[in-house]
Amino acid sequence: MLSLDNVSVTFNAGTPNEVRALRELSLFVEDGEFITVIGSNGAGKSTLFNVISGAVEVDSGRIQLDDQDMTYWPEYRRSHDIGRVFQDPRLGTCPGLTIRENLSLAAIHGRRAGLQRDVKRSQEAWFFQQLEQQQLGLEHRLDADVALLSGGQRQAITLVMATLTKPKLLLLDEHTAALDPNAAEQVIALTQQLAESHELTVVMITHSMQQACVLGDRVIMMNRGRIEFEIAGEERQNLKPSDLIDRFHSLEGATELSDRQLLG
């Protein structure tokens, strides 16, 4: 369970460039929940992820994961519990290393002792099995340099790496935005499959209203550093992209949505 309690972040405080990126934001995420986060450029979505992962320190407020107060934990200490995938497929994997080497690094990074023993015992078979489940044919390319893979394949490997050690929380920041529609569809299917099979808790930022309506149990709309509204339950089940766009435009002071958001 993740909880953020009245979290605020201001960049360049006291200067003409001051930005209040998060304004007393509170959020509670249940174990096993899959949440999609939408909002215009600059709404504070990535900053939300940065304070959860520890890349940005809060000005005030509290962040807890499984009842542990990690508000002032450094990023590396949180990274064992929190997996993160970014928009750029190059960020999640090391070029010059093979798929096997990348997976080995992810496995070493995992602190779950039992899991590490399993990896050592039969690492080869284990990696093969992890990739085989994804049905992308990558299990036969364990010795390929990841730099030679397509963006979609690289993002698929990144997802497998981020979930290999079953993190308590998986943060996806527009992780399909740089992919072509086919690859994006594959990576979304893989995301769903991994979330279900590992029973992960997922928070996913997307600019696609379509993805926000199809994936997950709850949609959160951010605007100007705040959560403006949430849609869950029955209303979420019947949600259409046009409903989200209408709700967004009814917000006071809402900035424009991009074409990608309107069409996606």
Ligand X SMILES: Nc1ncnc2c1ncn2[C@@H]1O[C@H](COP(=O)(O)OP(=O)(O)OP(=O)(O)O)[C@@H](O)[C@H]1O
The reply to whether 47 sits near ligand X by the rule CB under 6 A is: yes
d(CA 77, CA 65): 12
41 or 250: whose CB is closer to ligand X?
41
The reply to whether 55 sits near ligand X by the rule CB under 6 A is: no
Q: Name the segment binding ligand X (CB under 6 A); options: 36-44, 88-96, 106-114, 132-140.
A: 36-44
Q: What angle do CA 222, 225, 229 make, to 5 degrees?
A: 30
47 or 130: whose CB is closer to Mg ion?
47
Q: Please count the residues of this chain forming the interface with Mg ion, following the rule CB under 5 A.
A: 2
87 or 193: whose CB is closer to ligand X?
87
Instruction: Report in angstroms how near the CB of residue 114 gets to Mg ion at its nearest.
Output: 35
The reply to whether 172 sits near ligand X by the rule CB under 6 A is: no
Question: What Cα–Cα distance (Å) separates residue 213 from each residue in 32, 104, 186, 218?
Answer: 18, 35, 17, 9
Distance of CA 246 to the CA centre of its chain: 25
Q: Name the segment binding ligand X (CB under 6 A); options: 39-47, 97-105, 134-142, 195-203.
A: 39-47
β-partners of residue 147 are none
Options 7, 34, 35, 45; binder of ligand X; rule CB under 6 A: 45
- Smallest Cα–Cα separation from 228: which of 257, 199, 196? 257
Q: Name the segment binding ligand X (CB under 6 A); options: 35-43, 90-98, 108-116, 228-236.
A: 35-43
The reply to whether 92 sits near ligand X by the rule CB under 6 A is: no
Q: 130 touches which of ligand X, Mg ion, none (CB within 5 to 8 A by kind)?
A: none
Q: Please count the residues of this chain forming the interface with ligand X, following the rule CB under 6 A.
A: 12
The reply to whether 229 sits near ligand X by the rule CB under 6 A is: no
45 or 154: whose CB is closer to Mg ion?
45
Instruction: Report in angstroms how near the CB of residue 84 gets to ligand X at its nearest.
Output: 13
Place of tokens 């990074």: 109
The reply to whether 11 sits near ligand X by the rule CB under 6 A is: yes
Place of tokens 């509204």: 229
Binding residues vs ligand X (CB under 6 A): 11-12, 19, 21, 39, 41-47
